[in-house]
Structure 1
Amino acid sequence: MSRLHHLAESHATSRIGWLRAAVMGANDGIVSTASLIVGVAASNASRAAVLVAGIAGLFAGAMSMAAGEYVSVSSQADTEKADRAREAVEQVEQPEAELEELAQIYETRGVARDTAVEVARQMMAHDAIGAHARDELGISEATMARPLQAALASALTFTAGAAAPLVMVALVPSALLMPAVAVSSLLCLGALGALGARAGGAPLGPSVVRVSFWGLLAMAVTAGIGRAFGAMIG
């Protein structure tokens, strides 16, 4: 008596729905809040003003990230629904053409003609719309747009990322505020890059360098602008 053993495999693709939004949210939370704090601090503002600006940036950024992700991913979801609806109509109006289209897709992937036709026939008998969505349009359960999931992931991780530079504002002396925020933020960005690469199964080095470079550049630019405007106003 034979026994079937089902191996539970975990692929990074299954995380794509929330991973992209989470990494973007955390990265933006760290970079935008740290840059805002550094820019305001460079203008010789008081610690209270810097803290208020940072807190306002946290809440505004979290809401903006949530709204932006929800709207953009909803547009993707609407497109996917429209494509699936179009496929449903085509299944009714031209079933043979749809069968041939699916068979040709399998042929281009290396399946013999007779086998491709039979596989296409069986797939369409089982779930015609699902087969075309997956094999023709590239829409699968793992990569399907989930607006609410993306919005929540980006808002929560933005808040977590923004909290790191804000903690430094509350804890360190005013004289060390800018370097402390910059260094701690770069460390957080490096850790974020490593975590994102690990979760996505990608090399750590390029991811860490990428997020750290852009974070450093953003803080340098806003520090320069803050210093310039501070000198003009002062």
Structure 2
Amino acid sequence: MEGEHSHKPADIKARLAAGPKASYLRDWVYGGIDGTVTTFAVVAGAIGAEFSTQVLLVLGAANLFADGFSMAAANYTATRAEREDYRRLLEQERRHIRFFPDGERQEIRQIFQNKGFQGEELETLVSLITERKDVWIDTMLAEEYGRSNTQSDPVRSAGATFAAFGLCGALPLAPFVLSIPEAPSAATGLTALVFFAIGSVRSRFSTRSWLRCGLETFAIGLTAAGVAFLAGDLLTRLF
């Protein structure tokens, strides 16, 4: 089927030898939506406050760099924390297997017993898993803690977030940079288009259609942008 990998023996061998790769889709989607929402909020607030185009662009650019860097730094720290937690659990399971092997075998036994294995079949499975320490540890981490040995790289996660934030967040500013007539309306239209495009691209990693994914992200993004606009408008009226 189109878009799916080959099942030829040589292709399977090469794919498994390369190992699984971490996905940075979440970082791109998160950065793209947040960059668009926050920049549009700056644009809307600046228009509501009747700032000049120059001030609007300065505020928008400052948001792109400052908030984008802040998000990237936060994502870097969060990803590092996840990796460190994984290493902590890894060392914990190594200690448990070394000092409490019978208890760890019993955990494996109960894990697969809950999956429906019984009798000789269950004992054979337990024996096969526990005779290879690396397989044993990976199984415990996946089944007991829901953790995979495929870990995201903090630098790549941060880079994806920052890049998506900057690229998508710059679009609401483009009409003002280019001095397009009716720039506020054009910025609103571009913002909506970005949300739909993010969702449509996301459909490549989903079982749903590009239209459905696009409309879903469009609705979520415009709701967030609307909340940001209303908050900015309210604050402008109060102060």
Cα gap change, 1:183/1:91 in structure 2, threshold over 3 Å: closer, same or farther? same
**1:17 partnered with 2:43:** no
Q: Distance in 2 between matches of 1:53 and 1:20?
A: 27
**1:79 partnered with 2:85:** yes
Q: For 1:130, which of 111, 131, 138 is the aligned residue?
A: 138
Higher mean C-alpha deviation, range 118-127 or range 207-216: 207-216
Q: Which structure is higher in RCO with an 8 Å CA cutoff and minimum separation 6?
A: 1
Q: List per-residue Cα deviations over 1:125-183 (Å, max 9, x = no partner).
A: 222222211233222234x343222211111111111121122221243x612211111
Q: For 2:149, which of 137, 141, 162 is the aligned residue?
A: 141
Q: Tell me the TM-score normalized by structure 1.
A: 0.84
Cα gap change, 1:95/1:53 in structure 2, threshold over 3 Å: closer, same or farther? same
Matches for 1:43-62 after TM superposition, within 5 Å = 43-62=49-68
Q: CA deviation at 1:219?
A: 3.3
- State the AA in 2 paired with 1:148: V
Q: For 1:117, which of 117, 120, 123 is the aligned residue?
A: 123
Q: CA deviation at 1:65?
A: 1.3
The answer to whether the Cα contact below 8 Å between 2:198 and 2:214 also exists between their aligned partners in 1 is yes
Name structure 2 gaps, 5 residues minimum: 1-7
The answer to whether the Cα contact below 8 Å between 1:70 and 1:148 also exists between their aligned partners in 2 is yes
Q: Distance in 2 between matches of 1:134 and 1:221?
A: 39
Q: Tell me the TM-score normalized by structure 2.
A: 0.82
The answer to whether the Cα contact below 8 Å between 2:39 and 2:172 also exists between their aligned partners in 1 is yes
The residue aligned with 1:26 is 32
The residue aligned with 1:65 is 71
Q: Distance in 2 between matches of 1:139 and 1:6?
A: 29
Matches for 1:1-234 after TM superposition, within 5 Å = 5=9, 8=12, 17-126=23-132, 127=134, 128-142=136-150, 144-173=151-180, 176-227=182-233
Q: Distance in 2 between matches of 1:182 and 1:116?
A: 60
Name structure 1 gaps, 5 residues minimum: none
Q: CA deviation at 1:107?
A: 1.9
Q: Distance in 2 between matches of 1:86 and 1:232?
A: 55
Q: Distance in 2 between matches of 1:15 and 1:36?
A: 37
Q: Distance in 2 between matches of 1:92 and 1:100?
A: 14
Q: CA deviation at 1:231?
A: 5.9
The answer to whether the Cα contact below 8 Å between 1:31 and 1:218 also exists between their aligned partners in 2 is yes
Q: Distance in 2 between matches of 1:68 and 1:15?
A: 22
